[in-house]
Amino acid sequence: MSNGLDLGLRAQAAAIAAGDVDPGELLEATLTRIEERNPALNAVIETFPERSREMLAAAPEGPLYGVPIVIKDEWPLPWRAQRFGAAELMVPTAPAESGPYRALRDAGAVIVGVGNMHELGAGSTGNTSVYGPARNPWNTERCPGGSSSGPAASVAGRLVAGAVGADGLGSVRFPAAYCGLTGLKPTFGRSAMDGHHMAPVTTLIVSGPLCADAGDCRLLGSVLYGEKLAAGETTGLRIGVVRDTVSEDVTPEVAEACDAAVEALRAETGGEVREVELPGLDPATLAAILIINSESMAGTTPERLNKLNPELSPLARGSLKYRMLLPAAATTQATRVRTLMRRRLAALFSEVDVIAWPTIPAPAPPLDAPMVELPSGTTTADQANVRGAALANLTGIPSISMPVGLSDEGLPIALQLQGAWGTDELLLDVAEALERANERRWVESLPPLAETSPTEA
C-alpha cells in the first residue's frame, strides 16, 4: 500500500476512500515530509501532530476524509490564534473556530500545519514575515509570492496536496503564479470567511484554495464554499483580452506564454478571442488599495500606533502610520470607482465569458531584492503585480490563476482568467480546458526540490 504522499488532492481523497491509502500512514508521512523539506522552504511555521492525529481520529467520512491540508496564518484554529505573519495585529485575536477550519473539519480533512504569509497580508512577494520569509520551491532564492506564501510553497514543494489561502488584493493568485500552482479567488462572499479578524469589515478578502490543478481546486473549493462546484461546458468560449498595461507591460516571455495559452484555450473550446476595452484599471487598483487600507485600519487609534511592537518591520510600521493620514474623501471616491468598474464589467461580461491577462508581469523576483524589469522600466514587484489583481477584489468577481509555462530561468509563468459574478465553476471548467490543451504539461511540472525525497525511499 502506497502512503499516497505524492498524489494530488483528489487522488489522495479517492485513494483513501477506496482503501488504497491508509490515512494514518498518510498523515505520518506528511509530517515527516514537512520535517524534511520545510527547512529549505519555511512554508509551514507550525505543526501540531497531536492535534492533527485527533482531527483524523474524529474525522467524518467527508469529501476530504484523511487528506492533510495546510491553512494560512490568517485564521484562528481552536488551539492557536492567527498571527497574520506579524509580530502583532491591530486587533486582538484568540484561538477559535473559523469558517475555513469548520469547513475542513466537517469535510474530514486533517490540518497538518499553519502556512507562513507576508507580514499583515501586505505584500505580493512573501519576502517579509515575522517567521522569516517562505521560499519558492522552484528556486529558494526567489519569492514564493504573497501574501499566501506558505500555503503556496507547501503545495508546490509537495508537502501537502492542498492549502487554504486568502485573497484581498491578489494574495492567492500571486503565490499560485510564482509557485506554478492553480489558485482560485472566489466571488466575494461565496467561500468561508467567518472567524477572520477582518470578516466584519472587509469587502475584498475571500478564502481560496491553492492546489496543483483546477480539479483539486474544485474539490477544496467545494469544501470552502459549502456547495459542490459542478463541472460544466466550455464549448464556444468567448475570451476577452484587454490590450492595456496589464497585458502589455510584461516581460516578453510572459507575454508569449500567455498569448499562446489564450490561443490554445480558444482552439480547445472552439471559441473566439475578442479584444475588449476596459478603461479605468489604474484608478480601480488605487481604489481597491484605499478601501482595504481603510478597512484594515478600522478601530486603530493614534495611541495604538504609538505603541507598535518593535518587531514589526519598518515597512509595516511606516505603512500603518501613513494609512492613518489618507483622506476620507479619497476612500469615498474609491467607492464611486467601485460602482463604475462593476458596471463596466457587467457590460463587458455580456460580450465575453472570461477576461484573460497575465497574473504576474514577470516571474518570481529575488527574495532579497523583489524588483522586476518590465518594458516600462524597473519597478517593485508589489507595484507591478497589484495592477493585474485588484480589479477582482474591488468588484467582487471571481478569478483564477493557472500555470502556462516556465521562464528561461525555470520559473513559473501564469495566466489569470476573470469571470462574471458567480461564475467560479466556469473558471474551473476553463482552467481544466486549458490543462487539456496543454496536455497537463504545466500543472504536472515539479520543482527540483519536490522531485525526490528520503520519504519515498
Binding site for other proteins (CB under 8 A): 187-190, 203, 282-283, 286-287, 289-290, 302-303, 305-306, 314-315, 317-319, 321-322, 324-327, 329-330, 333-340, 342-343, 345-346, 349, 383, 395-396, 420-422
Smallest distance, Å, CB 142 to other proteins? 24
Smallest distance, Å, CB 331 to other proteins? 10
Q: Which is nearer to other proteins, 255 or 340 (CB)?
A: 340
Are 428 and 185 a contacting pair, CB within 8 Å?
A: no
Q: Which is nearer to other proteins, 216 or 382 (CB)?
A: 382
Q: How far is CA 206 from CA 139, 195, 222, in A?
A: 28, 12, 14
Smallest distance, Å, CB 329 to other proteins? 6
Q: Which is nearer to other proteins, 47 or 395 (CB)?
A: 395
Smallest distance, Å, CB 349 to other proteins? 8
Q: Which is nearer to other proteins, 353 or 435 (CB)?
A: 353
List all residues 6 or more positions away from 139 whose beta carbon is below 8 Å from its beta carbon. 364, 409, 410, 411, 447
List all residues 6 or more positions away from 166 whose beta carbon is below 8 Å from its beta carbon. 72, 74, 75, 121, 147, 148, 172, 196, 205, 206, 207, 208
Smallest distance, Å, CB 288 to other proteins? 11
Smallest distance, Å, CB 343 to other proteins? 5
| Residue 280 in grid coordinates | 479605468
Q: Which is nearer to other proteins, 283 or 366 (CB)?
A: 283
SS3 219: helix
240 DSSP β-pair partners: 274, 355
Q: Which is nearer to other proteins, 146 or 162 (CB)?
A: 146
Distance CA 273, CA 267 (A): 10
Annotate 7-57 with three-state secondary structure.
Answer: CCHHHHHHHHHCCCCCHHHHHHHHHHHHHHHHHHHCCEEECCHHHHHHHHH
Smallest distance, Å, CB 205 to other proteins? 11
Q: Which amino acid, 281?
A: L
User: b/e for 14-44, b at 16 or more Cβ within 10 A?
Assistant: ebbeeeebbbeebbbbbbebbeebbeebbbb
Q: Which is nearer to other proteins, 307 or 439 (CB)?
A: 307
Strands (E), 160-279: 162-167, 182-185, 206-211, 238-242, 272-276
Smallest distance, Å, CB 393 to other proteins? 9
User: b/e for 204-229, b at 16 or more Cβ within 10 A?
Assistant: bbbbbbbbbbbbbbbbbbbbbbeeeb
Distance CA 381, CA 370 (A): 6
For Cα atoms 227, 111, 422, give the angle at the middle one, nearest 5 degrees: 25
Smallest distance, Å, CB 51 to other proteins? 33
Grid cell 500603518 in the structure block, residue: 320
Q: Which is nearer to other proteins, 342 or 440 (CB)?
A: 342
Q: Which is nearer to other proteins, 336 or 441 (CB)?
A: 336
Q: Which is nearer to other proteins, 32 or 331 (CB)?
A: 331
Q: Which is nearer to other proteins, 243 or 336 (CB)?
A: 336
Smallest distance, Å, CB 342 to other proteins? 4
Report CA dihedral (17, 20, 22, 25) to the nearest 10 degrees: -140
H-assigned helices in 324-411: 328-348, 381-386, 390-395
Smallest distance, Å, CB 238 to other proteins? 17
Distance CA 273, CA 241 (A): 7
CA-closest candidate to residue 250, choices 103, 336, 340, 357: 357
